[in-house]
Amino acid sequence: MKFEKDLLVQKSTVKTIVGALHMVLITLLISSKIYIEQSFETFDIIYLIAIFLLGSLFILEGTGIPFAKIFGKAFILIDEERISIKKGVFNKEQTIFWDEIKEIEYKPNYFLFTKNDDSLFPFKLRHLAIRFNKEILDFIKVIGKHKGLEIKRMNDFRNK
């Protein structure tokens, strides 16, 4: 059993529409220059290229092809062996192995794992993973139950 989600892939119709509006703006700018019979200067060409690149980026992001994938990955991985999360392309990957876990406490978007040596390992999901919160909790419950661990509802952060 495995739960794996890529946090970078997020389709968005708003981003696609904004990208399309950039393309419409380019068309309007070019057609207005041609209509009033003005020549294109260097600044105009650079400006049009910048708007085109920005519009293309918005369209790609909106259709689910993230630009950030060039720099790295962002993911959540829960399997029989470990729990890993990398919240952003420039963030460090957090990993804890099931064999190291003694106790699990849960509060929405926050897991607190107590390791066998009684050290604490906070596992913060934050805004990137909020859409997978229920699925993550269910997977951790199922695998935790299989490993003999129980998830306790955390009452107060100040006690930890």
> Quick one: which of 136, 125, 143, 139 has its CA closest to 81?
143
Q: Taking the CB of residue 19, how many other CB atoms lie within 10 A of it?
A: 20
Contact 158, 112 (CB under 8 A): no
Question: Which of 17-21, 71-75, 138-142: highest mean pLDDT?
Answer: 17-21
Q: Is 0.75 topped by the overall pTM?
A: no
- Mark out the alpha helices in the chain (DSSP H runs): 13-35, 42-62, 133-146
Q: Taking the CB of residue 115, how many other CB atoms lie within 10 A of it?
A: 15
For 62-114, the pLDDT digits (tens) are: 998 888 888 888 888 888 899 888 888 888 888 889 888 888 888 777 888 88
The domains of the chain are located at 10-70, 75-153
Position 24 confidence tier, pLDDT thresholds 50, 70, 90: very high
Quote the pLDDT of residue 125: 74
Per CATH, the number for 75-153 is 2.30.29.30
